[in-house]
């Protein structure tokens, strides 16, 4: 059985991610102990709240997390976790991210559109990757965010349109660091399939 660690560095609902991964027959550990990452087959970086708080809270995990990614094992960032994978974010003043994937996190421009971007929106899958195996183009997934990731096509797996076209899902060159702006654990059957694909990668 694959051992997946969900990094618990903050607050909010981690139970749904856990149950979604267990649904895919993984053994899941919600952990506040950085040591747990070393022995994992896969790591999930969730996230709610503000970028700078999250970056501060994850500090104790950093060295082990960089080593872990270096080893080639898969890391999945969800929502704020997806944004944290990038070079930097303008949320609350310019802040450095984890830098696994080149790109920036910027706020939706003021317009007639509601912010946060909240609800079910369709995905345009732009690049094939094992995590999208069996997922149809234009599938609907659940988003809730006020900032979005801007990166190049090479690092984008799927995009989404909300006033602007943004990177709904990202990947690093090696293919082992993945991010989804949407919540797979809240995206019904489509999301469960993605979590199951992730477990298969581990």
- Residues binding another protein (CB under 8 A): 11-13, 15-16, 19-20, 48-50, 80, 110, 114-122, 140, 142, 144-146, 161-162, 183, 185-189, 191-192
**Closest of 132, 150, 144 to residue 196, by C-alpha:** 132
Q: Which is nearer to another protein, 68 or 198 (CB)?
A: 198
CB of 151 to another protein, least distance (A): 21
15 near 25, Cβ under 8 Å? no
Q: Which is nearer to another protein, 19 or 174 (CB)?
A: 19
| 117 is annotated as an active-site residue | no
CB of 116 to another protein, least distance (A): 6
CB of 110 to another protein, least distance (A): 8
| 59 is annotated as an active-site residue | no
**Which candidate in 91, 145, 155, 185 is catalytic?**
185
User: Using CA atoms, how far apart are residues 28 and 92, in angstroms rounded to an integer?
Assistant: 33
Distant-in-sequence, close-in-space partners of 166: CB < 8 Å, separation ≥ 6: 148, 149, 150, 159, 160, 181
Distant-in-sequence, close-in-space partners of 122: CB < 8 Å, separation ≥ 6: 138, 139, 140, 141, 160, 161
User: Using CA atoms, how far apart are residues 13 and 107, in angstroms rounded to an integer?
Assistant: 24
CB of 42 to another protein, least distance (A): 19
Q: Scanning the structure block, which residue is given the tokens 């199951």?
A: 196
Q: Which is nearer to another protein, 102 or 163 (CB)?
A: 163
| 79 is annotated as an active-site residue | yes
**Which candidate in 117, 145, 155, 183 is catalytic?**
183
Q: Which is nearer to another protein, 74 or 184 (CB)?
A: 184
Alpha carbon 87 to its chain's center = 14
**Which candidate in 35, 79, 136, 160 is catalytic?**
79
Distant-in-sequence, close-in-space partners of 29: CB < 8 Å, separation ≥ 6: 3, 4, 5, 6, 36, 40
Catalytic (active-site) positions: 79, 183, 185
């Amino acid at each position: 059985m694959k051992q997946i660690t969900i990094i618990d560095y903050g607050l909010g609902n981690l139970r749904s991610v856990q149950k979604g991964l267990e649904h895919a027959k993984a053994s899941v550990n919600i952990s506040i102990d950085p040591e747990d990452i070393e022995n994992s087959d896969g790591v999930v970086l969730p996230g709610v709240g503000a970028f700078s708080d999250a970056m501060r809270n994850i500090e104790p995990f950093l060295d082990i997390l960089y080593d872990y990614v270096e080893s080639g094992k898969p890391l999945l960032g969800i929502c704020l976790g997806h944004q944290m994978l990038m070079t930097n974010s303008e949320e609350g003043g310019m802040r450095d991210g984890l830098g696994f994937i080149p790109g920036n996190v910027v706020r939706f421009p003021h317009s007639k559109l509601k912010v946060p971007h909240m609800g079910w929106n369709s995905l345009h899958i732009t690049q094939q990757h094992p995590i999208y195996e069996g997922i149809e183009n234009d599938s609907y997934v659940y988003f809730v965010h006020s900032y979005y990731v801007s990166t190049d096509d090479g690092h984008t797996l799927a995009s989404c349109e909300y006033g602007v076209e943004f990177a709904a899902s990202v990947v690093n060159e090696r293919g082992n660091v993945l991010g989804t702006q949407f919540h797979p654990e809240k995206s019904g059957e489509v999301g469960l399939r993605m979590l199951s694909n992730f477990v298969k990668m581990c």
